[in-house]
Amino acid sequence: MSWAMVNDGRAMSGSRIYEMSPLRGSRGSEIDPVLWLARLRQDFPDWAFIFDPWACVWVAVQGRYRIEIAATANALHESLENRRAGHRENK
């Protein structure tokens, strides 16, 4: 799986995200949604992800009936990890 990250107008490709960094010029600890979307897609390839910046909502969809919604990308990642761990325990 490959992804592209745009930083200061330069595109770089790679297979991993090593550090989540704030957007340049952003307020406080806002995290670049492109980086988080790439990380979520890498860690959970069987899910689709959407970030709505106006509603500040992160959404994960799998199939027709599985939907996870969270206020932050980190919370969504944690929720999907917990779901994955719970699924392993039920097997």
37 neighbors 52 (Cβ within 8 angstroms): no
Domain coverage including residue 73: 3-90
Higher pLDDT, 48 or 6: 48
> Which pair of structure tokens corresponds to residue 10?
């330069």
Q: Among 13-17, 29-33, 65-69, 80-84, whose mean pLDDT is lowest? A: 13-17
- What are the pLDDT digits (tens) for 28-66? 445 688 999 999 999 999 999 999 989 989 999 999 999
Structural domains in the chain (count): 1
Q: φ and ψ at 40, to 5 degrees?
A: -60, -45
CA distances 25 to 43, 57, 66, 73, 78, Å, are: 28, 22, 36, 20, 27
- State the pLDDT at residue 91: 63
